[in-house]
Chain A
Amino acid sequence: MKTMLNVALPKGRLGEKVYGMFAAAGFECPSILEPNRKLVFENEEAGVRYFWVKPSDVAIYVERGAADIGVAGKDILLEYAPDVFELLDLNVGKCRMAVAAKKDFRDNPERTLRVATKFARIARTYYAGLGRDIDIIHLNGSIEIAPILGLSDVIVDIVETGKTLLENDLEPLETIVPISARLIANKASFRFKSAAIEAVAERLKGQVPEN
């Protein structure tokens, strides 16, 4: 019997792009493109079973073995630090994790810096490296509004084009880390389905766009 790989893909634009890479690498599953509300799609011949999950949940599905492999942003991997293998940088979904503030912001090192973010661990690690004392304000969305209303001094968030920042009179100050989508694998699945997982990684390599 052919080994079936469970593949967790992130719902949304990035997921569709990544599926395109899988399909071009020989792991297509045409039913996935039909307009319906199904979440699981299988192509027994190619040995893959795809399912769509929330992008921030992909790492959890893979870490806990419900999916053998998956595609997650480096931001999620840094924030949740799941115990998984990071097999390939897919070089898509590129953006950066950055510190941003109001255009007239002046840093006062004598005071604790108030940082609003969805990515508490990344922010904490970054400022710990600088030896800076910070106060993390954990928000779940619309981070840009925090410095405008005086809730925080700066924000740590994903910046793609910088358009949202600009429209809200904010500007990026520092890049913490560049982000892109990564192919991840469950550590136990890798031991038992290594040939199948490595075949996917190897064939996907040919689909990774140049910079």
Chain B
Amino acid sequence: MNPTEYPLKPEERVLFALRDLYSRFGYSQFKMSKFEEYDLYVRNKDFLVSDGVITFTDTDGRLMALKPDVTLSIIKNTRQAPGCVQKVYYSENVYRISGSTRSFKEILQTGLECIGDVDLYSLCEVISLAAQSLKLIDSACVLDLSHMGVVSALVDALTPDGALRAEALRCIGEKNADGVRKLFPEGDIDGLLALISAHGPAPQVIAALRPWCAAPEAAAALNELEAVTGALAANGCECIQVDFSIVNDMNYYNGIVFRGYIDGIPAGVLSGGQYDTLMQRMGRSARAVGFAIYMDLLERLNAEARPYDVDTVLLYDDGADVIELTRAIRLLADSGRSVLAQRAVPEKLRYRQLLRFKDRGIEIIENHA
């Protein structure tokens, strides 16, 4: 059987398509070791999606970890050059605690990073690739964009208190308008309420928020969001919307952040954004933007149901001539059909054709094709 016709699982099909997409835009594959020194994750613990890391002691006594994240390893290995950006994609297993079961899971993660002299074009390119990635997975998709600059400007205007700010961010992430009202009973929260309720096509949302973004930082952030969404819309990215409930950790992310959803998958499958602040924390002056796709979630996509488990079942008796039997199976397999040799039909097996091998030849017992 031709390997390209082999019934690929949805996540495998997507993986090949994504690799092809990223390499067509000049991204090269970044291959890395499964292990990394634990120290790297301790220093940037809050950046990790889950809190647990599997550790072990290497033969030389160093404490190592099974990678819970790919981005930190990529940043560690980047080199800077003015006017250039390093464009890499990856497809790697990471080891994390799964939210619902509280146990470690191996998760296949695919994504890309664009690190260096990131400008408006690079930003648009990465977001456009995120949108195209979602389209490759399923045409019923949404890519929600938010801008941390807008969110933080509106929150900062209300309070300088770190704990209150964190609480306010949580409420924005939950679209919890009642929570914001309780948090700032005296404050002028109309801007935040507008931020929570505004979602949908970019031009409308940006226009609705404009009156609340008069301060220079907020206005600059909103203008950047407008420039990016405008450029993407002009290039046919129709699945892009704006929703400020996408709030990533402000200690790492700044600028535009985004999350992608597929109809039928209950959680966001794609997550990304600009993380210049993380770069600074790791001692780099370069800017960076990237995203990851959680391939394990794609298992939930409806695979086309195959009517048969196997094309042909060939039954043979205990005393069958092994040389003749082998030849017969080879002939059937070479004709492009899948063949399962058995002495009895396995329970609940679905097949197109049931054959029996005899010394004089092959007898057809059932034919459903």
Contacts and interface: CB of A to CB of B under 8 A. Distances in A.
Interface-central residue, A87, A188, A189, A190, by most chain B CB under 10 Å: A188
B32 interface: no
Interface in B177-202: 177-179, 199-200
B266 A65 contact: yes
Contacts of A66: 266
B267 A83 contact: yes
Interface string B213-250: 00000000000000000000000000001010100000
Contact of A86 (B144, B176, B261, B263): B176
Given A84-B174, A86-B175, A191 B266 contact: no
Contacts, number: 55
Nearest to B181: A89
B199 A194 contact: yes
B140 A83 contact: no
B10 interface: no
A188 B176 contact: no
Contacts of B129: none
Interface-centre pick from A66, A86, A87 (highest chain B CB count, 10 A)? A86
Given A86-B174, A89-B178, A194-B199, A187 B261 contact: yes
Interface string A170-195: 00000000000000011111111010
B52 interface: no
Interface residues of A, number: 21
A84 B170 CA distance: 11
B121 to A, nearest CB: 27
A191 B178 contact: no
Contacts of B243: 191
Contact of B140 (A86, A88, A192): A192
A132 interface: no
Contacts of B267: 63, 65, 83, 187-188
Contact of A192 (B100, B174, B261, B268): B261
Interface string B256-269: 00000111011110
B140 A187 contact: no
A64 interface: yes
Contacts of A192: 140, 142, 261, 263
A22 interface: no
B99 interface: yes
B174 A85 contact: yes
Contacts of A186: 266
A86 B266 CA distance: 16
A133 B363 CA distance: 78
Contacts of B245: 85, 187
A53 to B, nearest CB: 16
A137 to B, nearest CB: 19
Nearest to A62: B266
Contacts of A63: 100, 266-267
Contacts of B175: 85-87, 185, 190
Contacts of A65: 265-267
Nearest to B197: A198
A191 B261 contact: yes
Interface in A143-195: 185-192, 194
Given A65-B266, A191-B261, A192-B142, A83 B199 contact: no
B192 to A, nearest CB: 15
A188 B268 CA distance: 7
A62 B142 CA distance: 19
A187 to B, nearest CB: 7
Contacts of B268: 187-188
Contacts of B177: 88
B99 A83 contact: yes
A192 B245 CA distance: 15
Nearest to A65: B266
A86 B183 CA distance: 15
A188 B178 contact: no
A188 B266 contact: yes
14 contacts: A65-B266, A66-B266, A83-B99, A83-B267, A85-B174, A85-B176, A86-B174, A86-B179, A88-B178, A185-B175, A189-B266, A191-B243, A192-B140, A192-B263
Interface of B: 99-100, 140, 142, 144, 174-179, 199-200, 241, 243, 245, 261-263, 265-268
Q: Which 10 A-B pairs have the closest CB atoms?
A: A65-B266, A89-B178, A86-B176, A86-B174, A191-B142, A85-B175, A188-B261, A191-B261, A192-B263, A64-B266
Interface of A: 60, 63-66, 83-89, 185-192, 194
Given A65-B267, A187-B261, 20 more contacts: A64-B266, A85-B175, A85-B176, A86-B174, A86-B175, A86-B178, A86-B179, A87-B175, A88-B177, A186-B266, A187-B268, A188-B262, A188-B263, A188-B265, A188-B268, A189-B266, A191-B241, A191-B261, A192-B263, A194-B199
